[in-house]
Amino acid sequence: MSDTTDAKPQSKAVFVKSYGCQMNVYDSQRMADVMGAEGYREVATPEEADLILLNTCHIRERAAEKVYHELGRIRELKQTAKSEGRKVLIGVAGCVAQAEGEEIVKRAKYVDLVVGPQSYHRLPDLVARAGIQPGVVDTEFPVEDKFAKLPKPAEAKARSRGISAFVTVQEGCDKFCTFCVVPYTRGAEVSRPVTAIIAEVEALAEAGVREVSLLGQNVNAYHGEGPNGGEWTLARLLRRLAEVPGILRLRYTTSHPSEMSDDLIEAHRDLGALMPSLHLPVQSGSNRILAAMNRKHDRDSYFRTIDRLRAARPDIAFSSDFIIGFPGETDADFEDTMELIRQVGFAAAYSFKYSIRPGTPGAEMDGQIDEAVKTERLYAVQALITSQQRAFQQSLVGQTIEVLFERAGRKFGQQVGRSPYLSPVQVMAPSSLAGRIERIRIIGTETNSLNGELVDPISARAVQAAE
């Protein structure tokens, strides 16, 4: 008989599925970090997990129904595990959790815990409680700062998930756009202290990250406390992060047009590490609809901001968001949006039909648009944006651009990286280029990517020799 007295209990496993925005991706990673500190290893499939967390988003249409549909599938995994003598806990996190709260455990009684986006630092305690008495719900807006309670970068071992990483610097929103649930699910604007952000970015750089994207619901409204107690703007934070050894590229999203300050525009002019790619949601090209949306900017101020940014950084490219068929949108309003798209020229954009979000002012507005009309308008917008995206991609053919390489491609000898504009770029190279920036001549385009060739093959050979 073998001696099992020294056998260690097998660690538990957590699976986190993230929906929606990049901030949710970051939150999911930090939830995995939190549970990792409790001995949970992160796994790639729910079938392997003892704890399954759905980190949900409430922005898209029928978001809650999609979550319940997914829960139905996961319920079967839980039942299978129980028949095998294993206990699996199911948790719903994020914005749908915040919006639905107790309703989730009433409707799906097999859900063990529900946790809002401001409380995931409490996950270990919530999981422990749910293991004893299922149906735990925490959707409060706690007084304590959740970031202060999360594992420090060293404690989380600054787990790199590739060459690029997200870092949340700001949460919540005070804008109260009439279509948006964020102020109700994420709360008021809160900015993280500068020292905490610097420490996290330094730890990521040490772990091999070379590109950092700063995240916030209203990121360019960042106003975090500096090391000496003064308030820092996003521009000042970006300038400091550009000095972190190992960090080669910086990005930030999502921005509000009314928060594009002079110092932030100057940062685009001065910082080579700040990429010439900016997501600047406009939502509509009609002043009347923008006012109804409570957007706090108009089309002319948006044009002026675009012009100022292009003057500061001539190679900058823009992406945006558009909501089509907002209540009261006339044919003339829609044409204003089409004209704005034509005038700006976007490298990419996201466009969606307006859908009612219960609890928002837009849900109570008169003049709801017929679905068929919204669909027709959406197709027109998407066709125009697609043509602009293709034109932008084609304009890069023949140019030499810098590409940050991330990984090997599907083909033998192929390396894949990202352009300054976030486009995937594929090249053939004699060895791995991951983590390096190389000058690449663009020789062709595909639907959503670029093909290129090394301008200086010697640099690639040098990598091979070094290896």
Binding residue positions for [4Fe-4S] cluster? 21, 57, 95, 173, 177, 180
- Sign for the pseudo-dihedral over CA of 234, 239, 243, 249: positive
Largest distance between two CA atoms of the chain: 83
Nearest to 323 by CA among 385, 368, 374: 374
Nearest-angstrom CA–CA distance, 41 and 19? 21
Strand-strand pairing, 400-408 and 424-428: unpaired
**What is the Cα 299 distance to its own chain's centre?**
26
Nearest-angstrom CA–CA distance, 163 and 449? 18
User: Three-state SS for 432?
Assistant: coil
Start-end of H helices in 49-100? 63-83, 94-100
Nearest-angstrom CA–CA distance, 6 and 455? 58
Percentages helix, strand, coil for the chain (3-state, rounded to 5) are 40, 20, 40
Q: Are 164 and 418 in contact (CB under 8 A)?
A: yes
DSSP 47: G
Nearest to 137 by CA among 158, 155, 113, 118: 113
Nearest to 452 by CA among 429, 420, 431, 421: 429
Nearest-angstrom CA–CA distance, 366 and 375? 19
Strand-strand pairing, 437-445 and 450-454: antiparallel
Nearest-angstrom CA–CA distance, 417 and 435? 9
Q: Which residues of 238-259 are buried (b: 16+ CB within 10 A; e: fewer)?
A: bbbbbebeebbbbbbbbbbbbb
Cβ contacts of 287 within 8 Å, gap of 6 or more: 298, 299, 336
Start-end of H helices in 314-444? 331-344, 371-395
Annotated binding site: 21, 57, 95, 173, 177, 180
